[in-house]
Amino acid sequence: MDKTSYFDRAKDDEWARREYTKEEHAAIDWFMDVAGISAGQKVLEPGCGTGRCTQKLSVRVGRGGEVVAVDPSAALIRECRRRTEGLHNVRLLQMPVEDIEFPPGFFDHVFCLCVFPHFDDKARVIGLFRSLLLPLGRLTVAHLEGSRILNRMHRERGGPVKADRIPPYAEMARLLGASGFRVDFFRDEDDGYLLVATRQEGR
């Protein structure tokens, strides 16, 4: 089973269908605060899943902004479309994020919540994000648990996600630096993971 089929089947799993808890809402709000997501921005959301975070991003960027939410799973995009119906600043695309085509510098921010480990070629994806961001645009990698718990969870879940990991910080910094990003903020504790990086000018 490939990852797309895996996530198609996972749409009814408890982790995918439930609403965020009060604590999770607060954590994601904090992620967005630290990342600097604000009104009027254009934000790319890879791996949008069922659209829970898409809703929050839509509110954050407001009527003058735009959220482009992308997921390869048809089942998850259907649920995301249901959740975001009537949100006119949200655009949904069913495809791997590697296949999206936008003009260079189209986005102010790329916000990866609970998705980064699932990219098989992380260097390629980071390079794509760099090309899509404005100079000084930001890339955020965030999770509601730290890398120690998250990596163990994927290993124990098995199947197509068993090898999906967040690399150690040194490897993340190397990958980001190679594509012209500077890490501005990093925190990795059991209650959450947050890395915010800025695309450097002239790179």
Q: Which of 13-17, 22-26, 131-135 has the lowest mean pLDDT?
A: 13-17
Q: What is the pLDDT of residues 161-177, one digit of tens each?
A: 888 999 999 999 999 99
CB atoms within 10 A of CB 134: 16
Q: Looking at residue 203, what is its pLDDT?
A: 58
| CA 7 from centroid of its chain's CA atoms | 15
Q: Domains of the chain, with CATH numbers?
A: 3-199 (3.40.50.150)
Number of C-beta neighbours around residue 18 at 10 A:
11
Contact residues for 80 (Cβ-Cβ < 8 A; gap 6+): 48, 49, 50, 51, 54, 69, 71, 92
Q: Which pLDDT value is given to residue 154?
A: 92
Q: Check pLDDT > 90 for residue 84.
A: yes
Task: Please list, in sequence order, all residues whose beta carbon lies within 8 angstroms of the beta carbon of residue 105, skipping any fewer than 6 positions away.
Answer: 132, 133, 134, 135, 137
DSSP 8-state secondary structure symbol assigned to residue 47: S
| Structure tokens belonging to residue 161 | 């996600």
Model confidence at 15: pLDDT above 70: no
Q: Is 143 helix (H, G, I), strand (E, B) or coil?
A: strand
Cα 182 from Cα 175, distance rounded (Å): 10
- Cβ contact 118:164 at 8 Å: yes
Q: At what angle do helices 22-35 and 52-61 cross, to 10 degrees?
A: 50
pLDDT category at 13 given cuts 50, 70, 90 is low
How many other C-beta atoms are found inside a 10 Å radius of the C-beta of residue 189? 12
Judge whether residue 202 has pLDDT over 90. Answer: no
- Residue 2's pLDDT is 76
The answer to whether 23 and 45 are in contact (CB under 8 A) is no
Per-residue confidence band for 3, with pLDDT thresholds at 50, 70 and 90: confident
How long is the chain?
Answer: 203
**Amino acid letter at 74?**
A
CA dist 195 and 203 (Å) reads: 20
* 8 Å CB contact between 113 and 53: yes
pLDDT at 96 over 90: yes
Percentage of residues of the chain with pLDDT beyond 70: 95
Query: Exposed (0-12), middle (13-18) or buried (19+): which is 39, by Cβ within 10 Å?
Result: exposed
Task: Please write the tens of the pLDDT for every residue from 134-153.
Answer: 999 999 999 999 999 999 99
